[in-house]
């Protein structure tokens, strides 16, 4: 595995990684009653809404740099909606029986119904969030090419990750014992807390970033998200990531412009998985970020942000594209 190196020069030492806490907040109730925490940026009557679904053992703050860039790029013309997946962040926990990729697709539909009743939508998913988008596309195909006009799959995969290091740890007997406890004796799950973290934590940390020097503040932020993830959530979703298969969604995504992006040092969802998805999508922008790991949107936000800007320009009505270009030109000329 690549060994993560931090740099003594930290460009993000003063960065406020909790800025989403100050954005408009609401709670969306999933179809099975689980409460999902939501944050919004931008006017509710914006011409386009971009909805973000985060990855395994993270929370909505994992899109910190994307929130900043798109706010600057599009201003009041685009609204952004972020939410925490069930069992993560501020959202409610549930039975581990519901910790499946199909359920995450249904949760995304609940968020869309509650927060974006009208207007075009671009979906952005990272890691497990990309699988969420794929699951949604498979279950609600009629929305694609109509309301949903673009999608981004970042460091994700259409099929399970059983051949990755994360998949390999599922074969460990100690983890199998923790999984059994989570499912059948949840009141005793704290007894397996140390075993689960000692097995899963190092894999996640090692896979997060590539071989470049990383800001210590960014590393601390991502590791805090992982550490705060409940053990039941962490263990419960492992099996889902191993066995999921949403490849049937790819023809549906071919109806719209897509961005497929990943780092070429991603150990959890290797770039071959992104290349395979891009190969069968008709209108896709494939971005492979050199030297980056699984948390590519935090490690090299510029490459991902540029891809998202291109996606929005490709996916939105021509009038929006013209207006936003004029806005950027005025900004660059100093008003």
What pLDDT digit, counting tens, does each position of 178-189 carry? 555 555 445 544
pLDDT in tens, 123-176: 999 999 999 999 999 999 999 999 999 999 999 999 987 555 555 555 555 555
Mean pLDDT of 262-277: 92
Residue 94 in contact with residue 106, Cβ under 8 Å?
no
The span from the CA of 289 to the CA of 297, in Å, is: 10
Q: At residue 100, does pLDDT exceed 80?
A: yes
Which pair of tokens denotes residue 52?
A: 């973000």
Mean pLDDT of 314-319: 74
What share of the chain in percent tops pLDDT 70? 79
| pLDDT-derived band at 3, boundaries 50, 70, 90 | very low
Helix (H) or strand (E) holding 23: none
Tokens 């191993």 sit on residue: 242
Does 321 score more than 50 pLDDT? yes
- 286, containing H or E segment: strand 284-289
Contact 231, 27 (CB under 8 A): no
Name the pLDDT band for 35 (thresholds 50, 70, 90). very high
Confidence of residue 212 (pLDDT cuts 50, 70, 90): confident
Residue closest to 297 by CA, chosen among 247, 233, 225: 225
Edge-to-edge strand ranges of the sheet holding 24-29? 24-29, 35-41, 78-83, 48-53, 121-126, 148-154, 258-263, 284-289
The phi and psi torsions of 7 (rounded to 5 degrees) equal -115, 145
Average pLDDT of the chain?
86
Residue with tokens 């998805």: 277
What confidence score (pLDDT) does residue 192 get?
A: 45
Residue 202 contacts residue 194 (beta carbons within 8 Å) = no
Question: Looking at residues 47-68, what average pLDDT do you find?
Answer: 96
3-state secondary structure of 164: coil
Residue 158 and residue 137 in contact, taking contact as beta carbons nearer than 8 Å = no
Kindly report the pTM of this predicted structure: 0.87
Q: Which two tokens stand for residue 173?
A: 């007997």
């Amino acid at each position: 595995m690549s060994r993560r190196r931090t740099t003594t020069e930290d460009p993000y030492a003063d960065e406020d990684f909790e800025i989403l806490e100050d954005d408009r907040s609401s709670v969306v109730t999933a179809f099975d009653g689980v409460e999902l925490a939501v944050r919004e940026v931008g006017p509710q009557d914006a011409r386009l809404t971009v909805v973000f679904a985060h990855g395994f053992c993270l929370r909505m703050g994992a899109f910190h740099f994307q929130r900043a860039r798109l706010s600057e790029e599009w201003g009041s013309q685009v609204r952004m909606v972020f939410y925490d997946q069930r069992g993560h962040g501020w959202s409610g926990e549930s039975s581990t029986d519901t910790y499946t990729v199909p359920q995450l697709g249904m949760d995304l539909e609940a968020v869309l119904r509650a927060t974006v009743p009208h207007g075009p939508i671009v979906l952005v998913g990272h890691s497990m969030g990309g699988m969420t988008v794929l699951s949604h596309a498979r279950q609600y195909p009629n929305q694609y090419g109509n309301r949903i006009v673009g999608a981004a799959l970042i460091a994700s995969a259409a099929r399970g990750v059983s051949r990755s290091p994360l998949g390999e740890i599922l074969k460990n007997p100690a983890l199998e014992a923790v999984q059994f406890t989570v499912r059948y004796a949840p009141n005793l799950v704290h007894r397996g807390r140390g075993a689960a973290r000692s097995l899963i934590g190092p894999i996640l940390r090692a896979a997060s970033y590539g071989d470049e020097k990383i800001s210590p503040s960014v590393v601390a932020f991502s590791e805090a998200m992982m550490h705060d993830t409940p053990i039941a959530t962490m263990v419960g979703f492992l099996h889902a990531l191993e066995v999921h298969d949403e490849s049937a969604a790819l023809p549906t995504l071919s109806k719209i412009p897509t961005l497929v992006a990943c780092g070429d040092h991603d150990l959890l969802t290797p770039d071959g998985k992104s290349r395979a998805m891009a190969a069968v999508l008709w209108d896709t922008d494939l971005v492979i970020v050199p030297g980056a790991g699984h948390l590519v949107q935090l490690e090299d936000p510029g490459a991902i942000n540029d891809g998202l800007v291109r996606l929005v320009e490709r996916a939105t009505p021509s009038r929006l594209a013209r207006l936003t270009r004029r806005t950027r030109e005025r900004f660059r000329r100093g008003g």
